[in-house]
Structure 1
Amino acid sequence: MSSSEAPAQETSTDQRYHRLEVTAVIEETHDSKSIVFNIPEDKKAKFAYLPGQFLTLKVPYDGKQLTRCYSLASSPHRDSEHKVTIKRVVDGRISNWINDYVKAGDQIEVMTPAGLFCLNDKTPAGDIVLFGGGSGITPVFSILKSALETTDRKIKLIYANRDDRSVIFKDELKAIAAEHIDRLEVVHILDSVHGFLTQPMVCQLMDGYRHGEYFICGPGPFMDTVESALIGLGEPEDRIHTERFVSPPDPDQAEAVVQQAKAAAESSNTVQFEAVLDGETYEIPYEKGDTLLEALYKAELEPPASCEEGMCGACMCTVERGETQLAQNDVLSDKELEKGWTLACQARPLSNDVKVKFPD
């Protein structure tokens, strides 16, 4: 298929996805656009979301069904629409297709909102400091708008971009800052003017905003810089929230990883495992080859889950004991893996003493 052709619109047989109509396409910058979806009345409950969550889009492309996760830039407390914003990526098949071809009236397969990088009722008190790098502004912008509407917390946004024309939501940010001049501070860091954000710059920008809660989204080096600076200042890790997005592998590559994990589990003699869900402990019968999530479904339990492809993190749980094999993983960091986190939709038990615990 040539680069000038849009993918054919096919009907998905995956019932986790819903065909949504695009009601508007907004040109945000020279290299980014926002897509606004119409949510039918009978699907509004399914598409309710927390600020900071994302949508997963499935696009038929060159004979494959490719999936991509895009954060909602809209706020459930301020905006009436569901809006995702996509920035072009060099050689990015789907990001370029969306920017080049998607128009109002098109239909796209979309999964219900998911993600753990969000402002919620369990969020502790204190100031909020948001760090957005490039298109990483999208989930933190959603959090910013909701926090202003639902809390009285002070908020500081540190937003890094290559140059002024790359600043997504520039006018909207300016208007919101003027509306909340007593609570919101916005700091723009431009590579062309200030250079790349450094740890000393982060420490300086934190003056007056210590001991708060921190949300970070952007390119890997940007996020690493901010997180390292905050930890160096002594900020507790449980108050530092990060969102990392990578393009998942194509379906054939993902299937190869799954088959490797299944093969590794073939030698397992596991017949059951223990799961702690909503504070209750269950003994779960296990059939060889199943993932933890599949076994829980067969036991007629309802663990948290969404994409079931190792992308969203909705089914994260900790391995309290025993050995498991993780297949596809596009969400857990090395640090989280070291702490025992796994994905129920991709993990298989390798021993009979496995115990996993889902967050309360």
Structure 2
Amino acid sequence: MNSKRKTQIAYPTVLLFLGLSVSYLLLYYLFDTRIINESLTVIIGAFLAYSMFTVVHEASHGNISRGNSKFIILEKCVGWISASFLFFPFSAFKIIHLKHHAHTNDSEEDPDGYVRGKNMLTIFFKCLTLIGHYYVVSLGVESKKNEAIRKTRNQTLIFISLIPIITIGVSTFNFWYEFIMVFLLPALVAAPILGFTFDWLPHYPHHNMDKYHNTRIVTIPGLEFLSFFQSYHLIHHLYPRVPFYLYKKKYQLVEQELRNEKSPIEGFGVNELKVLNSKNTYTDVLEGKTWRYSLEVAQVRKLTHDSAEIQFKNLGNIPYQFNAGQYVVISMLVDGEKVSRCYSICSNPNLRELKIGVKRVSGGKLSNRILDHVSEGKYVNVAGPFGTFKFKDEIDVEHHVFIAGGSGITPIISILQKILQDGITNVSLIYGCKSEKDIMFHKELIDLQNKYPNQFSLKLTYDLLTNAYQTELLSHFEKANYYICGPTPMMEASKEVLYKKGVTSDHIIIEEFSYQEAKPFGNSYKVSINNKHFSVYESETILEGAKRNKVAIPYACSMGQCGTCKCELKKGKVAWKTEEQSVLLENEKNEGFILTCMCKPKSDIKLNS
């Protein structure tokens, strides 16, 4: 597509808006003159409201003006008028919808995840009250914490204040009945239909957060017209700046790429999947690849006074595939910021269940949040499996020695269960804890000792695993592989003892998680945005610098996929950390628009959002 085509206004969308507006006037006339009755009026009006949503949706992505600055004001006017037919403020919808794109299927941050439900009655109720939920997002606690939503708060309040004025107006001129039948009731009927068809159906079963699998494409002939091409919903999420009437054409251009990624392409044709089969979105789990899901917690089991085992439900009864010793990444909101940490899988891979062990940490951001707030039925963002800490079955190795301290037992218990069940012999565990009450998986370890007395020896100690103590404990092992996981001082002592013992590094397998904030470096530049001033290093993005300085600026995804942080560069120079983004058109970049999450300063800069 050439640059000239990119700057053209989306005329089909403008014509749709004009056609629907005229249709509303005609509907009002037909009902006012009683040519049609109430029931038919509401049905037709609901269809018009349903159709008008596409105009709102396109305006929220800037797909009417197509980045042409001459038509941006017109686009906003069209957005506000069309959103008014659905009784919701356009500015708030835009931010909420972009947040949905930024966090699709995220259990905490996707506003459209509200429509999730365990049965159709719950789903219907959620869809029926979706607009109310949007108002809560716009004016509730979220509106005060999220800078992008906060900026629309006053507009939402003004919009709400107009409702009683409109009510007085329609009552004064005595056309309140026509207003209810032509506008209000149809909007109320259309709202749950829109919630179901645009939010629930495309993203069902609402688990996968990978960009190629978080929604679907349904190729049933004719459905594209009924859904205004939202049957190609995955195309919209991958390419949000493509107008709705070009989704199918774009799909035909990238179809092979999507099939290579095994995206959910459903329909009745050859090589197409069964429509709305939840397993269509579970391809990565089925094939044993790494994945990123919103998983439901099946059980929380207390292990000690300050630790617990978290088990996640299997997706569609599909067995989880991972290597013993691997870990997953858990992500949750803590004080308004998404925090991610690594947690070792503690379950036996042979059982195909996913369990992690979590221990309370003094000052720990995420572990404490998990222990305090995660319970059965909650959804948690989980990615994995990752890691190379695994068992090495080598011919010249006679012993397999595991050294663990505290919560370092979590990956090791997974390996022990696996290798002992598989018949591996000469397995020893040295496990140090502060006291008996601090032993994680105590019962499981005793059970292993009793079940495999000829294969497994267990040494539990409440003494510090110091250099001297480990020298004593490890003195009789020869021709062994050593697996180490625990506090840093313990692991350093283990390595020192083993190196003195003559053990080479290829026989020492270490698992360690150490989280360190990346420190910015390089030249520091001044950034000014909407009368807010802060410094940003050349090694960090503008958004990262704003966060570091605790300066609130609008953002959502932090990955160049939603456009919430779009700003106009008024002065200075920036460098894009990568050109891979899907929300700015070339003509918008040429006019000076940037994404603060994707750009690093190369000089002092001034921005306008």
Aligned to 1:67: 340
SS of match in other structure, 2:367:
helix
Letter in 2 for 1:103: S
1:146 deviates by: 1.2
Structure 1 match to 2:85: none
- What amino acid sits opposite 2:349 in the alignment? P
For the 8 Å contact 2:344–2:357, the answer to whether it is kept is yes
Tell me which residue corresponds to 2:434. Answer: 162
RMSD: 3.2
The letter for the 1-side match of 2:496 is S
- Give how far 1:156 is off: 0.6
Residues 10-57 of structure 1 show CA distances to partners (whole Å, capped at 9, x for unaligned) of 23966452111100000000000110011213864xx41100000101
Paired-residue identity, %: 30
Normalised by the length of structure 2, the TM-score is 0.38
Summarize deviations over 1:321-360 as a string: whole Å, max 9, x none.
Answer: xxxxxxxxxxxxxxxxxxxxxxxxxxxxxxxxxxxxxxxx
Q: Secondary structure at the match of 2:398?
A: coil
Is the contact between residue 128 and residue 156 of structure 1 (CA under 8 Å) also seen in structure 2? yes
Distance 1:126 1:220 in 2: 27
Determine if the alignment matches structure 1 residue 115 to structure 2 residue 387: yes
Larger radius of gyration: 2
Q: How many residues align?
A: 253
Change (3 A) 1:249 1:122: farther
Q: Per the alignment, in what secondary structure is the counterpart of residue 225 of structure 1?
A: helix
The 3 A distance-change label for structure 1 pair 221 and 121 is same
State the distance in 2 between where 1:122 and 1:190 align.
Answer: 32
Say whether the 8 Å CA contact 2:396–2:479 is kept in structure 1: no
Is the contact between residue 68 and residue 248 of structure 1 (CA under 8 Å) also seen in structure 2?
no
Distance in 1 (alpha carbons) for counterparts of 2:395 and 2:380: 33
| 361, 365, 376: which one aligns with 1:104 | 376
Residue 202 of structure 1 corresponds to which residue in structure 2?
A: 470
Match of 2:316 in 1: 41
Question: What is the one-letter code of the residue matched to 1:76?
Answer: P
More strand by share: 1
> Contact (CA 8 Å) 1:67, 1:248: kept in 2 or not?
no
Q: Do 1:132 and 1:140's aligned partners in 2 also have CA atoms closer than 8 Å?
A: yes
The structure-2 alpha-carbon separation of the partners of 1:42 and 1:166, relative to structure 1 and needing over 3 Å to count, comes to closer
> What SS does structure 1 have at the residue aligned with 2:490?
helix
Gaps of 5+ in 2: 1-106, 111-207, 212-290, 525-535, 542-575, 581-609
* Partner residue of 1:27 out of 302, 305, 310: 302
Task: Determine the C-alpha separation between the residues in 2 that align with 1:59 and 1:101.
Answer: 10
Match of 1:245 in 2: 513
When you count helix as a share of all residues, which structure comes out higher? Answer: 2
Classify the secondary structure of the residue corresponding to 2:375. Answer: coil
Tell me how far 1:209 sits from its aligned partner.
Answer: 2.2
Tell me, in whole angstroms, the C-alpha distance in 1 between the residues paired with 2:434 and 2:356: 21
Partner of 2:420: 148
Q: Tell me the equivalent position of 2:487.
A: 219
- Cα contact 2:520–2:540 (8 A) shared by 1: no
Return the TM-score normalized by structure 1.
Answer: 0.63
Q: Does 1:172 align with 2:447?
A: no
Structure 2 residue identity aligned to 1:35? I
- Larger mean CA deviation between 233-242 and 58-67 belongs to 58-67
Match of 2:324 among 26, 47, 51: 51
- Flag the 1:151–1:231 CA change in 2: closer, same or farther, 3 A: farther
Written as runs of structure 1 = structure 2, the 5 A alignment for 1:268-283 is none
Instruction: Flag the 1:258–1:144 CA change in 2: closer, same or farther, 3 A.
Output: farther
Q: Match of 2:418, SS?
A: helix
Distance of aligned partners of 1:36 and 1:212 in 2 relative to their CA distance in 1, 3 Å threshold: same
Looking at structure 2, the residues matched to 106 and 72 of structure 1 have their Cα atoms a distance apart, in angstroms, of 19
Cα gap change, 1:120/1:197 in structure 2, threshold over 3 Å: closer, same or farther? Answer: closer
The answer to whether structure 1 residue 10 and structure 2 residue 109 are counterparts is yes
Report the Cα distance in structure 1 between the residues aligned to 2:458 and 2:507, rounded to whole angstroms.
20
Amino acid at match of 2:323: L
CA shift, 1:153, in A, is 2.6
Show CA shifts across 1:269-309 (max 9, x none): xxxxxxxxxxxxxxxxxxx9569xx9xxxxxxxxxxxxxxx
1:91 aligned counterpart, secondary structure? coil
Amino acid of the residue matched to residue 325 of structure 2? G
Q: Check the 8 A contact 1:59/1:67 in 2, yes or no.
A: yes
The alpha carbon displacement at 1:124 in A equals: 6.5
Structure 2 residue 539 is the aligned partner of structure 1 residue 260: yes
Q: For 2:391 and 2:309, how far apart are their aligned partners in 1?
A: 22
- The 1:113–1:248 alpha-carbon spacing in structure 2 relative to 1, beyond 3 Å, is farther
Deviation (angstroms), 1:122: 7.0
Classify 1:253/1:37 alpha carbon distance in 2 versus 1 (closer, same or farther; 3 Å): farther
Cα distance in 1, alignment partners of residues 520 and 299 from structure 2: 34
For 2:472, the aligned partner's letter is: Q
**Counterpart residue type for residue 36 of structure 1:** Q
* 2:288 matches 1:189: no
Cα pair 1:25 1:35 within 8 Å, conserved: yes
* 2:364 corresponds to: 92
Q: How far apart, in 1, do the equivalents of 2:537 and 2:378 lie?
A: 33
Q: C-alpha distance in 1, partners of 2:512/2:537?
A: 22
CA deviation after TM superposition for structure 1 residue 140, in Å: 1.0
Deviation, structure 1 residue 68: 0.8
Change (3 A) 1:29 1:259: farther
CA contact (8 A) 2:209 2:294 kept: no
Compute the displacement of 1:261 (Å).
7.8
Deviations 1:71-122 (A, max 9, x none): 0111102x34211000000011211111111100000111021001112567
